[in-house]
Structure 1
Amino acid sequence: MQEIVVNNVVVRQTHKQRAPIPDNDLTSQRELPGHHDRPSVISEYREFVQRHSGELPWNARPRT
């Protein structure tokens, strides 16, 4: 705790500190019972593009 003195008035300055987040916190959530293990969004997107690549507008062939 710090003290700041302004015009003979002492003001205590407190800093709220966040609780430390362990590095493996996100992966430990998956180990909890009842937590569904969802694949990452990137892998889901990659699979979607592979399955539907011909239907996507930026991959569509021009009509002749």
Structure 2
Amino acid sequence: MGYIVKLLDSNTYFISDDNGDVGTTESKEQAIKIGQFGDFEEADLSAQYFSKDMARGIDYEIIEV
């Protein structure tokens, strides 16, 4: 079981790009395939690292998959 991060304003999901940096995709399936985090805390920290101004529940949500 893992977690994905959904950005609420753009309706996109975090994924890793070819360089290992954070990118986004509109595809939930792609996010599950290449953007899945192992635990909730890792997903939350990655979202906060992406933008320190984002707040969980307002700017993004973490979805268990």
| Greater RCO structure (CA 8 Å; 6+ sep) | 2
Rg comparison, structure with higher value: 1
Give the TM-score of the pair, scaled to structure 1.
0.25
The structure carrying a bigger helix percent of its residues is 1
The TM-score normalised by the length of structure 2 is 0.24
Higher strand share: 2
